[in-house]
Structure 1
Amino acid sequence: MADRASALEALLGDPWQETNPTGFRALLAADEREEQLAAATEALDGFAFNRELVPAALGGRLDSLEGLVAAMRVLWRRDPCLGVGYAGSSYLAAVQVWTGGDEPQRRTMADALSANRRFATAYNELEHGNDLTAAAFRATPVADGWELRGRKDVVTNLGACDGMVLFARTSDRPGSRSHSLFLLPELDLASARLRPGPRYRSSGLRGVHLGGAEFLDHPVPAGALLGLPGQGLELGLRSFQVTRATLPAMFLATAETALRVTLTAAEERRLYGAPVVALPYVRASVARAAADLLAADALCAVAIRALHLLPEEAPLLAPAVKYLVPQLLKDVVDTLRTVLGAQSYLREGPAAIFQKLSRDLAPIAFMHASRTACQAGLLPLLPRLARRSWLGTGPTPGEAGLFRPGAPLPPMDFTALGLGIPRTDTVSATLAAVAEQPGGTLPTRFAAHFRDELARLRDHFTGLAPQDTTIDAPAAVFEAAHRYTVVLAAAACLGVWRHSGGGTGLGEDLWVSAALDRLAARLPGRRPVTAEERTELEDALFRQTVDLHHAGRPLDLTGVRGTRTPRKSHDTQFTQRAEVP
């Protein structure tokens, strides 16, 4: 896992090096042209990167979703346009084939990806937003297959794709069995039966082609159908459990680079006779951004491992990740922007990559389902879990692997994903287990705090009527669902802290306490630590972040053990007790 990520980092070279054809300077120039950087795509073709998306059983390199995310983070760490445009769009399409395709379809997709071909996914229609059951694009059965008619308005990577997975109505009956999925391994954009629309211009992800297309009785063979007629929504929602848990984990690397850029600028700029990084406010801001990243990474890591180990709980964890992590990453960037000031908006200069990364990161809030849609998807699950699972016994010893990033995982079984309401909430169960540990450490104090919040949420959700868990639920119910995702993230942090045995490579009590303090700030009421304790935590985490930065280590939980990340060299040094006039 770390070896492939490191090899890819070495292939793409030092992004700070101005003469590097795949570095930040070249990426910024491509962004100004609203293009994907050709030198980077050629390098990824030579690496056969899309084999990372293909399960090992089909001849690819995908042996675990953890390993896939590690490789994908190399792209997102450097340029989200590469992450989305080169690989992310194909990843969305491929997961649907691994989930719902038969063996010939899986082989077709595996061979195409291994040959560096790229794919798009066409679900949404502007008129219907996230309501997939209202999609009007139609597939009509004919003697030798299907004919496609209608328009897909916003398709990521449309102008650069070789094939597509497409969601279409196949029945006029109401309900969830009216749509189907189709695999189009070869898509001819010059066909008379296909009429591409104009490209949409966007403020972020400028190098990714966004466009629509109209299909005019476009023929596809009978073998294009994934699964059975009417299974489109089911297969889509099952595959979304994988992509909604993993895509935010990939975007986390973009926020990590934003943190690294900010730290570099703060070390190199001088103010009042000392480096800017000596200012207490700057040090606290860097530490808070780092703590938010660690909290997000812990939740992502646990959710990704659960896809392998506890797939029955994926319907809970995946939407929670897609709801909360984009907000955490947005807050990271907003915090860092206050340190950079005007430099955060400049499109040239040593920190220019920051404005690109912050623009590219913004769409994660609505890309591949909005945060609100994911929050609404949690509502029907929480009352039943509140009654059956919350504040029960902790995880069994065999489930400790859920909280050990980097530990071996069984092969991912995409067909094991279901759509039922989970009967257990293994992640939140760790709160009671940690809170009851003797010793009175700072993490156990936090565990008791979040356990008490979960008890309040249990009382709230067990008292709800069924009509209070639909899309038109009262605002207080949505707010309670938000609080639950914060508690879930805290439980993930505590689970990793409890079971990793120092394996994260970070100061265990330090990182978890700092991350939990930031999560506690997102809940009502007093936080469990004093202002003095918080200052000590933030100062210690700041120093650890600087050490990782200077060592070229990723600034997250799961990559710190192995991968080295190219960084800009620093001539500026600062002392522990820099005096600021």
Structure 2
Amino acid sequence: MTTFVPRRVDDLERLLGDPADPTNPVGTRAVLEADERAEMLEAGEKALHVFGLNAEFVPPEYGGRLTRVDHLVEVMRAVHRRDPALALGYGASSFIAGVNIWTASPGEQAARVARSLLSGGRVAVAFHELAHGNDMAGTEFTAAADGADLLLNGRKEVVTNIRRAQDLLVLARTDPRPGPRSHSLVLVDRASTPGAGIRDLPRFLSVGMRGVQLGGLEFTGVRVPATAVLGPTGAGLEIALKALQITRTALPAMATGGLDTALRTAIAHLSSRTLYGGAAIDIPHVRSVLVGVFADLLRAEAISAVGIRALHLVPGSASVYSAAVKYAVSKVLLDAMDRLAELLGAHFYLRGGPTAIFQKLLRDLAPVGFGHIARAACQMSVLPQLPLLARRSWLTGDSAPADLFALDAALPALRYDRLALHAAGRDPLAASLAAALDEPWDSSDRQLRAVAETDLAELTSLAGACAALPMTELGVDAPPEAYDLADRYIALLGRISCLQVRRHATDPFLADSPWLLAALHRSHRNTPLAGAVEDALHRELLDRFHSHRSFGLAARTLTLREENAR
């Protein structure tokens, strides 16, 4: 098994069993029945508790297994393939909250939360207020000093697991004055907090993630000790924005597991359906769409993989790369799901039968574009950094280390203290394009080199345009043309990531050119692929389908039955 997939994923696959087995309590039938009841899959939660999933969210210094973000992502993809609601409702919400706590590095508070998670508890991150969306600086929830205590007042809404979490991480205003030091993170121990001033709000109804507890709380004069503040008072926004770089990179990467199952469902249905005297899957247009989705899944995972490795290797630039991953990967996933829905026709919304899981996946994957942080917010975080990146890095800066792209290379420990709010013009990923073109290329890669040269010309043009951006065009009221520059830059980062993953690959499929040519083509335009490229990917796609392997970079066996594990 490749090193970016930990061996314990096999253990999880065996524990969760065959999703197609109707008697499996965590199989597809049970998942759909729980969704119809708008309930969490109880058997699934029990299985994840047995596996000790919460240990994946806890750093090793506190007794957990969070040593590499790519390992965490692969574990969570195994859950997403079966039920994205289970992935979010059981664990991902605790991961989001936990990352903020580890980033704040508060010592005993972190140790206490870690102990709770390792014993099967949950922690909820209560940042969201419907009136303010992704504008965390606009948060109105207050934590006002009152002697040695804080008095909490306000509402938090649409929060996962807020009712059943043992701890709540609340973003609260601790200074009425505007500015970056106006908010703090407050860790509320629900068990030791007086309940009289806390009112549970009804669950917010949602189209997808129907079994996930999306509730809210209203606090009225709730007293907590001032020591509940994580890190320095007023550092809440800084801590949250740094932690966000980890979560907005990892969460879209996890969601590719859902697209994997959707693609598998579409292939199975179209293989069994007869149209115009033959199997529907043999229709040229159907074949092209399926291959295109396969290429997009590989592209999404390549972009994610580089962004994830950047958290470990070049954390000072993660403010840019994490936003790019969230923006690019979420769009790839959502567009791919829409194309599969078109192929399935009326079968994409059926709630019964062999394709029923698709309509659930379609609904459950929709939040990847707006959940936790919206794609538009990612654009806005990249835009003001473009001029400095263009001047300092893209054409003349230091290139990225090879390990950024070598997926099987070892990774150093995740250093939360090295995350930065601003990349300060450092972009080794973009700079690696010019460096790659200075190296010798195999003669068989002539076509790829031509694509890379075209992208370098695009990067050169983009650098000139971005370096000239005035300060008046770097904020939320920037004109559409400025946001278009951010789009072009993010697309380039995605293509460079795919190119570099292929150049540093040891796996025979990834080291070959067809998948990359397809990924680069799909990035430029959403049109059919060249015949030879499509043929090669079509053979690989069907081979993986029939051999029960994943469609992503790892191409790993999905369900290990007991007889296969011996």
Using the size of structure 2 for normalisation, the TM-score is 0.94
What amino acid is the match of 2:482? V
Question: Does residue 564 of structure 1 match 2:557?
Answer: yes
Corresponding position of 2:33: 29
SS at match of 1:554: coil
CA displacement, residues 233-252 of structure 1 (integer Å, 9 cap, x when unaligned):
00000100100111110111
Percent of pairs identical after alignment? 42
Matches within 5 A, 1:100-179: 100-179=104-183
73-82 or 188-197, which deviates more = 188-197
Contact kept in structure 2, 1:267 and 1:275, CA below 8 Å = yes
Q: 1:420 aligns with which of 422, 431, 439?
A: 422
SS at match of 1:199: coil
Contact kept in structure 2, 1:394 and 1:432, CA below 8 Å = no
Question: Does residue 306 of structure 1 match 2:310?
Answer: yes
Partners of 1:190 and 1:247 in 2: how far apart?
34
Structure 2: unaligned runs, 5 residues or longer: 562-566
Corresponding position of 2:564: none
Q: 1:483 aligns with which of 473, 488, 511?
A: 488
487-496 or 149-158, which deviates more = 149-158
What amino acid is the match of 2:106? D
SS at match of 1:428: helix
Q: Structure 1: which 4+ aligned runs deviate by more than 4 Å?
A: 187-190
Contact kept in structure 2, 1:249 and 1:300, CA below 8 Å = yes
Q: 1:208 aligns with which of 190, 212, 221?
A: 212
Partners of 1:213 and 1:538 in 2: how far apart?
52
Contact kept in structure 1, 2:13 and 2:560, CA below 8 Å = no
In the TM superposition, what is the alpha-carbon distance from 1:422 to its structure 2 partner?
3.2
Corresponding position of 2:479: 474
Question: Does residue 539 of structure 1 match 2:535?
Answer: yes
What amino acid is the match of 1:53? F
Corresponding position of 2:287: 283
Partners of 2:192 and 2:89 in 1: how far apart?
19
SS at match of 1:155: strand
423-432 or 21-30, which deviates more = 423-432
CA displacement, residues 14-40 of structure 1 (integer Å, 9 cap, x when unaligned):
111111110111000100111110000
Partners of 1:245 and 1:16 in 2: how far apart?
30
What amino acid is the match of 2:450? R
Partners of 2:533 and 2:193 in 1: how far apart?
56
Partners of 1:400 and 1:178 in 2: how far apart?
41
Cα 1:104–1:394, aligned 2, differ >3 Å: closer, same or farther?
closer
Corresponding position of 1:573: none
Cα 1:284–1:68, aligned 2, differ >3 Å: closer, same or farther?
same
Cα 1:375–1:567, aligned 2, differ >3 Å: closer, same or farther?
farther
Partners of 2:264 and 2:61 in 1: how far apart?
37
CA displacement, residues 522-559 of structure 1 (integer Å, 9 cap, x when unaligned):
7xxxx9xxx7x7122122112111112222221111x3
Paired residues, number = 554
Question: Does residue 514 of structure 1 match 2:514?
Answer: no
Contact kept in structure 2, 1:434 and 1:494, CA below 8 Å = no
Partners of 1:236 and 1:328 in 2: how far apart?
26
SS at match of 1:429: helix
Partners of 1:464 and 1:212 in 2: how far apart?
42
CA displacement, residues 451-472 of structure 1 (integer Å, 9 cap, x when unaligned):
1221221121111101111110
SS at match of 1:512: helix
Contact kept in structure 1, 2:303 and 2:497, CA below 8 Å = yes
Q: 2:89 aligns with which of 85, 89, 104?
A: 85
In the TM superposition, what is the alpha-carbon distance from 1:13 to its structure 2 partner?
0.5
Corresponding position of 1:60: 64
Corresponding position of 1:324: 328
Contact kept in structure 1, 2:17 and 2:560, CA below 8 Å = no
Corresponding position of 1:402: 404
Contact kept in structure 2, 1:434 and 1:444, CA below 8 Å = no
Partners of 1:298 and 1:113 in 2: how far apart?
31
337-346 or 90-99, which deviates more = 337-346
In the TM superposition, what is the alpha-carbon distance from 1:420 to its structure 2 partner?
2.4
Question: Does residue 548 of structure 1 match 2:544?
Answer: yes
SS at match of 1:263: helix
CA displacement, residues 124-143 of structure 1 (integer Å, 9 cap, x when unaligned):
21122221111110001223
In the TM superposition, what is the alpha-carbon distance from 1:123 to its structure 2 partner?
1.0
In the TM superposition, what is the alpha-carbon distance from 1:309 to its structure 2 partner?
0.5
Corresponding position of 1:71: 75
Q: CA RMSD in A?
A: 1.8
Using the size of structure 1 for normalisation, the TM-score is 0.92
Q: 1:382 aligns with which of 381, 386, 401?
A: 386
